[in-house]
């Protein structure tokens, strides 16, 4: 049995930030990450971040990952388990982890779940053909391994991810044939959209993908217009010559571990799906568990880093190994989060967070047979 103060599941922006914050306050931390590198999705984000003045604005995602990683490895209070996967939580407080071909038992005082998100799928005929990728997969292939996904790409979704990945494809020399967006207007920031439009890539708003065509892999995509009730407009079909269809249609939180641990969950569409009900300090209904980052609700990396700080500080405060400054630091991090979520852009998140706090639409019964 391995004893520790805080176990953090997930080595992305939220988990790294939680580990650094808690360890700097003197807590012993074990950080497990299923990949063989730390950084989560930051390692493929070559664009410069927006966000608040304090939080990495103007820095590329890949550089933020490096910065967080070096802080983690420099801290003696943090033990990193790479290629480790949390398998389950037991009622006696033990978390089992597969790591280095062994099954390990960890007994932490507190657990922070920062497991991130997975990509949403879009239903259309032949969406399972090789050549249909999630946007994250395209980024991984291209920005981590330097391999292009194909020659001609149709992007589905004009939110920030769809726009940014389109631009990254163009930087890698790939032809982006068009961007399809079901909503009547572009969802992402206009700065990104303008860069792409200036390069001559059409953005088809009020359109959807009707089907993919191809035998062994994608050869064509059929798109069509949508009317004001989101119904397909007959006769508006257009065939596009593409070998790659990239889906940037949103993310959903990876909540499995929280559900298995018996945390009460709520289905909150604003946050991407099932999220743990939690208080403003990111503590769930299970006294041992905290959430941070995309697994707490889909936002972006800047919010994940701040949530990691809040969750890390909450865990430290609750186990009583904190300095007095922890409360102040937590208030400061919460204030920065509130600033980040201000204004019309943050409206959806604010509404979602309210629901996740109140536990409205709680899906408690949906999981009662599991926990």
Partner 1 sequence: MTQVDIQRKEEVFMERIKNHPILDFKREEKVTFEYNGQKIKAYKGETIAAALHAAGIKQLKHSPKKERPRGLFCAIGNCSSCLMEVDGVPNVKTCVTKVEEGMVVREQKGHGDL
Q: Tell me which of 216, 234, 287, 324 binds partner 1, using CB under 8 A.
A: 216
Using only C-alpha atoms, the chain has a radius of gyration, in whole angstroms, of 21
Q: Count CB neighbours of 175 within 10 A.
A: 15
Asked if residue 149 lies in contact with residue 244, where contact means CB atoms within 8 angstroms, the answer is: yes
Shortest Cβ distance from residue 175 to partner 1 (Å)? 7
32 and 9 Cβ atoms separated by less than 8 Å: yes
Instruction: Pick one of 16, 19, 32, 132: the residue that binds partner 1 (CB under 8 A).
Output: 132
Q: Is 287 in the site for partner 1 (CB under 8 A)?
A: no
Window 235-274: residues binding partner 1 (CB under 8 A): 254
Q: Work out whether 96 is an interface residue with partner 1 (CB under 8 A).
A: no
Pick one of 11, 51, 149, 363: the residue that binds partner 1 (CB under 8 A).
149
The secondary structure element, H or E, covering residue 337 is helix 325-340
Q: Which residues pair with 117 in a beta bridge?
A: 253
Site string for partner 1, 31-50 (x = CB under 8 A): ---xxx----x----x----
Site stretch for partner 1 (CB under 8 A), options 70-78, 88-96, 141-149, 230-238: 141-149
> Residue 47: helix, strand or coil by DSSP?
coil
Look at residue 188 and give its three-state secondary structure. Answer: coil
Site for partner 1 in 49-78 (CB under 8 A): 60, 62
Going by C-alpha positions, the residue among 248, 294, 11 that lies closest to residue 137 is 248
Q: Which of 2, 82, 107, 141 binds partner 1 (CB under 8 A)?
A: 141
With CB under 8 A as the contact rule, which of the stretches 168-176, 306-314, 324-332, 355-363 interacts with partner 1? 168-176
CA distance 317 to 340: 24
CA distance 314 to 272: 24
Q: Which residues bind partner 1 (CB under 8 A)?
A: 34-36, 41, 46, 60, 62, 118-119, 128-134, 136-137, 140-149, 151, 171-175, 216-217, 254
């Amino acid at each position: 049995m391995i004893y520790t103060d805080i176990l953090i599941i997930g080595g992305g922006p939220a988990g790294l930030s939680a580990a650094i914050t808690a360890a700097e306050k003197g807590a012993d931390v074990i950080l497990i990450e299923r990949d063989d590198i730390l950084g989560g999705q930051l390692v493929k984000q070559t664009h410069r971040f927006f966000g608040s003045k304090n939080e990495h604005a103007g820095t590329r995602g890949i550089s933020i990952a490096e910065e967080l990683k070096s802080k983690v490895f420099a801290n003696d209070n943090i033990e990193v388990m790479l290629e480790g996967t949390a398998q389950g939580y037991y009622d006696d407080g033990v978390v089992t982890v597969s790591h280095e071909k062994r099954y390990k038992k960890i007994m932490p005082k507190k657990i922070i779940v920062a497991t991130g998100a997975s990509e949403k799928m879009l239903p259309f005929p032949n969406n399972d053909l090789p050549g249909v990728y999630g946007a994250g997969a395209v980024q991984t292939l291209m920005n981590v391994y330097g391999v292009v996904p194909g020659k001609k790409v149709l992007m589905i979704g004009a939110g920030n991810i769809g726009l940014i990945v389109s631009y990254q494809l163009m930087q890698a020399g790939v032809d982006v044939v068009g961007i399809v967006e079901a909503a009547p207007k572009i969802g992402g920031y206009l700065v990104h959209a303008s860069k792409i439009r200036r390069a001559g890539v059409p953005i088809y708003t009020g359109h959807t993908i009707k089907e993919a065509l191809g035998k062994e892999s994608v050869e064509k995509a059929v798109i069509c217009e949508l009317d004001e009730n989101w119904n397909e407009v007959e006769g508006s079909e257009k065939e596009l010559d593409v070998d790659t269809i990239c889906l940037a249609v949103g993310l959903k939180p990876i909540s499995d571990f929280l559900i298995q641990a018996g945390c009460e969950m709520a289905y909150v569409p604003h946050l991407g799906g099932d999220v743990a009900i939690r208080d403003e300090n990111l503590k769930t209904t299970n006294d041992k568990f905290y959430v941070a980052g995309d697994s707490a609700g889909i936002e972006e990396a800047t919010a994940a880093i701040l949530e990691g700080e809040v969750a890390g500080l909450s865990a430290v405060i609750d186990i009583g190994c904190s300095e007095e400054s922890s409360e102040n630091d937590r208030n400061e991090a919460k204030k920065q989060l509130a600033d980040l979520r201000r204004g019309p852009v943050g409206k959806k998140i604010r509404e979602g967070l309210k629901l996740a706090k109140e536990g409205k639409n709680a899906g408690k019964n949906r999981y009662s047979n599991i926990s």
